Amino acid sequence: MKSFHYFVRVVVVAVLLALPLGTARIASAQAVQSADAGGLLLSVGGTASGYYVQYGETKLLGVSAFVDADTRRHFGVEGEARWLQFHQTNDLHYATYMAGPRYYREIGRFQPYVKALAGVGEFNFPYNYATGSYLVVAPGGGLDYRINRLIRIRVADFEYQLWPQFTYGSMSSFGVSTGIRVRIF
């Protein structure tokens, strides 16, 4: 339950941080065309993930949920929660709850993007000996494909996670996810 409350807080903070980006305008002497005038696009989605974890050289599978709050000016904020709990070895699994800025472009039906997330990771050590909460920093990027005005397929989302304060020294993990993204407004 603690994880769910933390995820809700991360999503609320991400949306609140994105609101000023969506409503801000650049001052200039030229008028902005009405079709390109600011605004906030809010999308939610889910993915299936496959990750390689440096600790124990383990491969884990899982799911994630994300919220993207984008402006029409190619900048936005992403909040993400990922639960890697399938294909466990000796009960080793973890979850991450992160948020951060993202930059995207529209190229026809494709939308490539890059992101820089930070947050907390909750790690469960083998045989349930211990659990720990750690700082996680995750640069990444990916590609979405637009099906129609509201639905996009998240073709691939790549993420490299750094756990700099892990119990046994710095740890990393990396993975790829694929899923669906739905625009709310």
Alpha-carbon torsion 64, 6, 40, 76, what sign?
negative
Under 8 Å between Cβ of 121 and 80: no
Q: What is the pTM (predicted TM-score) of this model? A: 0.78
**pLDDT over 60 at 176, yes or no:** yes
Compute the distance between CA of residue 135 and CA of residue 152 in angstroms, rounded to an integer.
Answer: 30
Architecture of domain 2-21+42-183: Beta Barrel (2.40)
pLDDT confidence of residue 38: 61
Query: What tokens does 86 get?
Result: 């399938």
Compute the distance between CA of residue 94 and CA of residue 84 in angstroms, rounded to an integer.
Answer: 6
**Using one digit for the tens of pLDDT, what is the confidence trace for 76-91?**
999 999 999 998 888 8
Query: What tokens does 137 get?
Result: 């920093």
**Using one digit for the tens of pLDDT, what is the confidence trace for 155-169?**
999 999 999 999 888
**pLDDT over 60 at 36, yes or no:** no
The pLDDT-based confidence of 180 (bands split at 50, 70, 90) is very high
